[in-house]
Chain A
């Protein structure tokens, strides 16, 4: 009986074969555009054909990005704004999430409403722009940091993570005379490393990938981030002049690879943290 059951579940049927074929096709559909970009970025001349490897290998596309200030400055802006935005975002999300879990705190519900209302209603693009203009945040890359530094959705995710920390731990610490800050740093944060990694990645991806904020708030070409530079270069033809005799296609594709490289390198190692955030946010009962 047991043997028969095992054989039934192990048997490879027609269904399985079709299933594998379908998934190979799906994987190819996802990978071919990415692979083409990668190969073209390493090829001297642009061709329309799909090639498995570059026929005329060159690194000029990447060298151009590293040595042209109009391209590496945006890249540095992206790196710095991502690091700072993630740090600010994590700080505010953890502080807010921790405080919102203090069920006995007077005014807690009002504070929660104060935060959640922003998820329902917003001033809109233009009033936000006018406020930032008033504050003098226009035309500086640090708008990226402030804009993404506060994220109510991530704050709520953080709160949900913290809810899982057993409250008896807090009470024990309180009895031992630990201050709220002490509890936060000595108990809550060390127990939430996975949450910090997941939500930190969500912040990092959002800031790194942001294009709209730059498009709306920044007109000074010295302050733009790499996503913006990439868009204006490929779609609006704003290619910087370079000392390299690099073909346009090679440079464009190298730019695309540079824009995805940081997360593609991290992705295989951190995939579980990337995925965790979604599950906590959406599936939680």
Chain B
């Protein structure tokens, strides 16, 4: 086996020093890493030890007893607990994936047409405006839309619908507590919040397109829309795939955006794994940390598989992993 020869910036061959010497030479760096090491250990690795509770019954009072796979059994097949769990699992996938697809689609459309804008000042102003909602917390966004969609005297949407004679005063819609309305509203709020921010990555790709391609299309007599279809969109294809893959790894993480918008009337269509875990632990009088840890472990495992799959896909399509 040939040894890899390393060179310094001045071109001399680096002779590797003995390991102990190299470690000693780097002592300053190890010391600098120590705080990071400790924080990661406590905040990330210590909780991983707690995963063992998935196989125990662990209540706030009373002893912890080993129960084997009982929690997984009740989670997957117990007629009392399984339906709510599977519903939450299904909702997680549906909400995340549909949300991901429509916000990505909206971002692509907006960035393509933003790219067509000739007036730089208008373009910059628009970018400033559409990035804005991204910096608002989910609490703020949910609060804004709760007030606007409210059924009370001050709800703008209901008020206008009545004023325009579309619905009667008595027919006001309680959007966020209506099973038919909750999901469309959730997607719309997501589009409102994240579309603008999502355009950044696409605009960066678009600014890298070789202008000669557009000139060639001009010479061939292509119209604006044809240029979008045959030059701009193909250039975006790779970035779209990248964005989808990067976000696919996160589909199980849905929590805050749902938590601040859902309520008991719409659990059927809105409850996701994390909110389910939360309620099973903090909203009951007799929580079993063991059971909620088991559900969490299932979520982590699915998330882990998704990350690895996405990592593999990412390496295949763009030659670079995501982690």
Contact = CB atoms under 8 A, between A and B. Distances in A.
B74 interface: no
Interface stretch (B37-45, B75-83, B84-92, B95-103): B37-45
Interface in B235-270: 242-243, 246, 255-256, 259-260
Contacts of B118: 9-10, 16
Interface in A96-113: 96, 98-99, 102, 104-107, 111
Contact of B36 (A92, A128, A274): A92
Interface residues of B, number: 96
Contacts, number: 277
Contacts of A121: 48, 300, 303-304
Contacts of B154: 40, 46-48, 249
Contacts of A40: 147, 154
Contacts of A16: 116, 118
B116 A26 contact: no
A111 B31 CA distance: 13
A36 B33 CA distance: 48
A46 B224 CA distance: 47
B44 A118 contact: yes
Interface stretch (A60-68, A192-200, A203-211, A238-246): A203-211
A12 to B, nearest CB: 8
A268 interface: yes
A256 interface: yes
Interface of B: 8-9, 19, 22-23, 26, 28-30, 32-33, 35-37, 39-40, 42-51, 53, 110, 113-114, 116-118, 122, 126, 128-133, 135-140, 142-148, 153-156, 158-160, 192, 196-197, 200-201, 204-205, 218, 224-225, 242-243, 246, 255-256, 259-260, 274, 277-278, 281-282, 289, 292-293, 296-297, 299-300, 303-304, 307-308, 320, 323
A227 interface: yes
Contact of B293 (A114, A124, A228): A124
17 contacts: A40-B147, A46-B154, A102-B26, A118-B40, A119-B323, A121-B300, A121-B303, A122-B47, A127-B296, A129-B281, A147-B43, A150-B39, A167-B9, A231-B260, A256-B143, A259-B139, A279-B200
A29 B26 CA distance: 55
Interface core residue of B53, B117, B135, B278 (most chain A CB under 10 Å): B135
A3 interface: no
A217 to B, nearest CB: 10
A131 interface: yes
A37 interface: yes
A127 B48 contact: yes
A134 B192 CA distance: 40
Contact of A31 (B122, B129, B160, B256): B129
B294 to A, nearest CB: 9
The 6 closest A-B pairs by CB, nearest first: A48-B159, A127-B50, A123-B47, A124-B296, A209-B137, A180-B28
Contact of A105 (B26, B45, B137, B304): B26
Interface residues of A, dominant DSSP: helix
A124 B140 contact: no
Interface of A: 8-10, 13, 15-16, 19-20, 22-23, 26-27, 29-31, 33-34, 36-37, 40, 46-50, 91-92, 95-96, 98-99, 102, 104-107, 111, 114-116, 118-131, 135, 146-147, 149-150, 152, 155, 167-168, 171, 179-181, 184, 205, 208-212, 215-216, 227-228, 230-231, 234-235, 249, 252-253, 255-256, 259-260, 263-264, 267-268, 271, 274-275, 278-279, 282-283, 285
Given A211-B256, A275-B200, A282-B246, A260 B140 contact: yes
Given A15-B224, A180-B28, A123 B143 contact: no
Given A27-B126, A99-B32, A105-B30, 12 more contacts: A26-B130, A47-B154, A48-B155, A50-B156, A96-B36, A104-B26, A123-B51, A123-B300, A129-B281, A131-B50, A227-B140, A274-B135
Nearest to A236: B263
Contact of B307 (A120, A208, A275): A120
Contacts of B117: 19-20, 23
A31 B48 CA distance: 43
A36 B293 contact: no
A40 B197 CA distance: 27
Contacts of A283: 201, 204-205
A285 B320 CA distance: 8
Given A49-B159, A179-B28, A211-B260, A168 B9 contact: yes
Contacts of B200: 275, 278-279
Contacts of B147: 37, 40, 234, 249, 252-253, 256
Contacts of B49: 123, 127
Contacts of A208: 137
Given A8-B218, A149-B39, A215-B259, A230 B130 contact: no
A48 B47 CA distance: 48
A259 B137 contact: yes
Given A96-B36, A118-B44, A211-B138, A105 B143 contact: no
